[in-house]
Homo-oligomer: A and B are copies of this chain.
Amino acid sequence: MASRKKKLQGLVAATITPMTEHGEINFSVIGQYVDYLVEEQGVKNIFVNGTTGEGLSLSVSERRQVAEEWMTKGRNKLDQVVIHVGALSLKESQELARHAAEIGADGIAVIAPFFLKPWDKVRAEELLDGIQEKIPTFQGLKFSDTDLLDFGQCVDQNRERQFAFLFGVDEQLLSALVMGATGAVGSTYNYLGKKTNQMLEAFERKDFSSALNHQFCIQRFINFVLKLGFGVSQTKAIMTLVSGIPMGPPRPPLQRASREFIDEAKARLESLDFLSSTYLKDRNLESCS
């Protein structure tokens, strides 16, 4: 499993699983997808087979194949590949974890139980208490809630440990950075990675007004699509628009994004300058619209 020295930092794109019109996995575009993330978005870490990747809609064998393809195409190009191996069946989860280790993944991630649950609600802060004794290879947390008290206490109580504290609510990442987030995992980094990196850089140099400008710019887009109804289907459509790489429809039970959604999202992306070559080429772009 992943070496402890190489700490996960910065942006991690929750990868989409490209599909054909018939809902089969389209492995052929994954190489192109890797190059796009690295060259156009400046994103060198990926989170494979998560919610955005419809990981739980895939069969176990499909999940293995998808993981292998990303490892192969990402070699010498990506910094870290994290494979989500969570499943409702612990046996299947264990099989996927062993497989991830075999193919040399940099790490695995597992979603908390969401069907049969040992507890009603878990606070991340309590989960982390003594976790290294239980999981010696534990490296960090993806936190996808807006409860920044819980998130903050995770950071506060684990200062001497070298954990990665990755935030998963893209539209308010800035609020987690100030609370100690070391990086972020999200679906929008597939197509807003460059803009989000600009925000991270501004935050690093303590240029708050720029950082906030970038955050607001990102919020304008997310706020807009959320009102239209935003999920994995819509993410696939948006990534197809911005990257030009065909992501295809989602697999059932999800339904394809509507024509109306695609048209409205495209117009908004243009008005925010997220489709222009400027956005994709000029790394010094500071603000939107």
Contact = CB atoms under 8 A, between A and B. Distances in A.
Nearest to A227: B123
- Looking at A62, A148, A176, A254, the one whose CB has the most chain B CB atoms below 10 A away is A148
A50 to B, nearest CB: 11
Interface in A159-192: 171-172, 174-180
Nearest to A113: B253
A234 B95 CA distance: 28
A220 interface: yes
Interface in A232-260: 232, 250-255
Nearest to A209: B180
Given A59-B91, A90-B252, A215-B179, A149 B223 contact: yes
B153 A223 contact: yes
A156 to B, nearest CB: 4
Contact of A92 (B59, B172, B220): B59
Contacts of A208: 178, 206
Contacts of A57: 88-90, 116
18 contacts: A51-B116, A57-B89, A57-B116, A58-B89, A59-B89, A114-B115, A149-B172, A149-B219, A149-B226, A152-B172, A152-B216, A153-B220, A155-B216, A172-B179, A174-B179, A175-B175, A206-B206, A206-B208
Q: Report how many copies the assembly holds.
A: 4
A249 B54 CA distance: 31
Contacts of A179: 172, 174-175, 212, 215
Contacts of A231: 116
Given A125-B223, A149-B222, 12 more contacts: A51-B116, A59-B91, A88-B88, A90-B253, A116-B250, A116-B253, A147-B172, A149-B171, A149-B226, A153-B220, A156-B219, A175-B179
Contacts of A232: 116
A181 B82 CA distance: 35
Contact of A148 (B114, B152, B172, B180): B172
A114 B57 CA distance: 11
B56 A118 contact: no
A149 to B, nearest CB: 4
Contacts of A178: 174-175, 177-178, 208, 211-212
B180 A212 contact: yes
A116 B255 contact: no
Interface string A85-99: 000111110000000
A219 B88 contact: no
